[in-house]
Amino acid sequence: MAKALPLRSEIDSKYKWQVEDIYESWDKWETDYRNVVINLKKFADFKGNLNDGKTLLECLQLRDELAEKLGKVFTFTSLKRDEDTSNTEHQNYYQKAESLYSQAMTATSFITPEILSLGEEKVTKLMEQEPKLKFYDFYLENILREAPHTLSIEEERLLSLSQELNNGPASVFGMFNNADIQFPLVTDENGEKVELSHGRYVKFLMSKDRRVRKEAFEAMYSTYEKFKNTLAANYSARIKGDIFYAKARKHNNSLDAALFPDNIPEAVYYNVVDTINKHIKSLHRYVSLKKKMLGLDKLHMYDVYTPLASNISMDIPYEEAKKMVLKGCEKLGDEYTSIMKKGLEEGWVDVYENKGKRSGAYSSGSYGTKPYILLNYDDTLNSTSTLAHELGHSIHSYLSQKNQPFTYSRYNIFAAEVASTVNEALLNDYLMKTNNDKEKRFYIINQYLEAIRGTVFRQSMFAEFELKAHELVEEGNPVTAEALQQLWIALNEKYFGPDAVIDEPISMEWARIPHFYRSYYVFKYVTGFSAATSIAEDILQDKPNAIENYMSFLKGGGSDYAMNLLKNAGVDMTEPDPIEKTIDVFNRLMDELEELI
């Protein structure tokens, strides 16, 4: 009989996060909440009056002051809600904070349009008039970048009204994929009939029983096949929406429009696709190796997720995991590891699962709070890697907040996964160097290879698909189900190579990827992983200034564009080098795996 999950109250306090450090009581929380509510009314006096240096400064300072306080208000309720989602009192407080956040967004929504209407010349004069505005130089520069893509007030109003229409395809897909789609029953390894679901699908694909893998694979995609024309029309509508907004805002194309907010040149996107294509034979080699180790004549699409080390596991208690992660990150130096020790011992981490606790893992906090970590630790290597990963995020946030003012403390999404993945790379290197047990080394290497395959090669294929699908529409071609299926098959053939059988049902895989409704997003997984691997390799090889440059990147927060901060850390994502270093690691891991066979 399965053991029941413990109640929140039954978890030892040393394994719980100390959120009381934010607010000792809900009364203290209410004080800050009311303070924000009252002060939001002050923005009405600033609206329409930002053409004076002193007034603009006061407005931006008030916005920062309230945003910092609101961050604490929101973070506290979010963490309290997630530690026990069945607690209705915490849910109510969270909804209250969420509503206040929405009110704050509305109250301050005039700031960016008014700054844009002033123009660069006027803003420069205001900074001369009020020298303290120089503090906001980068913030203002980032807003003024939007000027060539900002329309008249009436045109902006129409675009704003149409935004909900553009969100329609994503909403339709979400409802279809999460609520309406019905999957058939699949016979599992024990002969039991089990209903297929999104959650169970990968578990079935990792089954030792090939019949189960094949049956689940065919059941999944035959279900999507029934709706292929509707799904293609819906995705086509999403692409057309992207192109409409790109044209309306005078961008070169939909890719340019998507990358503009993060100030990323199109060359970065093309570099990902081109570099992976140039080294695609490394993935072909992995497919060939996997086919050989699984004892198969051909690797079918339903064999791709089959683990090479299915009979091996590593039992790692949490206290041991802490030691492993600390030892793995020792190369980063005393400053970094002392912060990590602080986080592990001073209530950053909520470790174990309890009844009602949110699933998964994340790092979350706000300016002036601890960068908290939610885990559901289960004594596995995967959980140990997750601890290293989330500590990477939290230490990035910690260093950013300690070294940057609130205005420039928040780092860009393009840089967000670098710190977390550096920690994982260092942990993997440590585990491989300190584990002489052949089976455990095999297990660790297999996990790392799969991470690179899934994050670098697979996401690059997704990025290439998005690019080609958008180009089809931009060139005036219809995006039919058949066109998308043919494109998907062609990409799979190119990526998996001659030792793989590209089974016909895989032609519908594009139809179940939710990220395609966040256009041109997935390439960031490739850049983040590659940048992190490049940094980790430089650190492990004792490259001069590698640690100092990396620490400067972590401390930089949002004080510059992510591309520039990464360049200062020795990583230029417009060049092939970071991706090629990652592929070198992939090849090296395959060499080691072959030696263990």
Provide the annotated active-site residues: 390
DSSP classification of residue 363:
E
Q: How many Cα atoms occupy the beta-carbon half-sphere of 525 within 13 Å?
A: 17
Please spell the DSSP secondary structure of 61-124, one letter per residue: HHHHHHHHHHHHHHHHHHHHHHH-TT-HHHHHHHHHHHHHHHHHHHHTTTHHHHHHHHHHHHHH
Which two three-digit tokens encode residue 402?
A: 């300690």
The helix/strand count (H/E) of the chain reads as 25, 7
Q: Which amino acid is at 409?
A: S
DSSP classification of residue 357:
P
Helix (H, G, I), strand (E, B) or coil at 373: strand
DSSP-derived pairing of the beta strands 299-300 and 372-374: unpaired
CA-to-CA distance for 90 and 79, rounded, in angstroms? 9
Q: What is the largest CA-CA distance in the chain?
A: 78
CA-to-CA distance for 266 and 462, rounded, in angstroms? 16
Which two three-digit tokens encode residue 22?
A: 């934010």
Residue indicated by tokens 């690797």? 299
CA-to-CA distance for 511 and 545, rounded, in angstroms? 46
What does the radius of gyration of the chain's CA atoms come to, in whole angstroms?
Answer: 25
Name the residue among 189, 15, 53 with its Cα closest to residue 130: 53
Which two three-digit tokens encode residue 35?
A: 């303070």
Helix (H, G, I), strand (E, B) or coil at 503: coil
CA-to-CA distance for 116 and 366, rounded, in angstroms? 28
CA-to-CA distance for 380 and 360, rounded, in angstroms? 14
DSSP classification of residue 330:
G
Quickly count: other Cβ atoms within 10 Å of residue 157's Cβ.
11
Q: Which amino acid is at 399?
A: L
First to last CA, the chain: 38
Which two three-digit tokens encode residue 467?
A: 């690019």
CA-to-CA distance for 37 and 230, rounded, in angstroms? 45
Contact 43, 390 (CB under 8 A): no
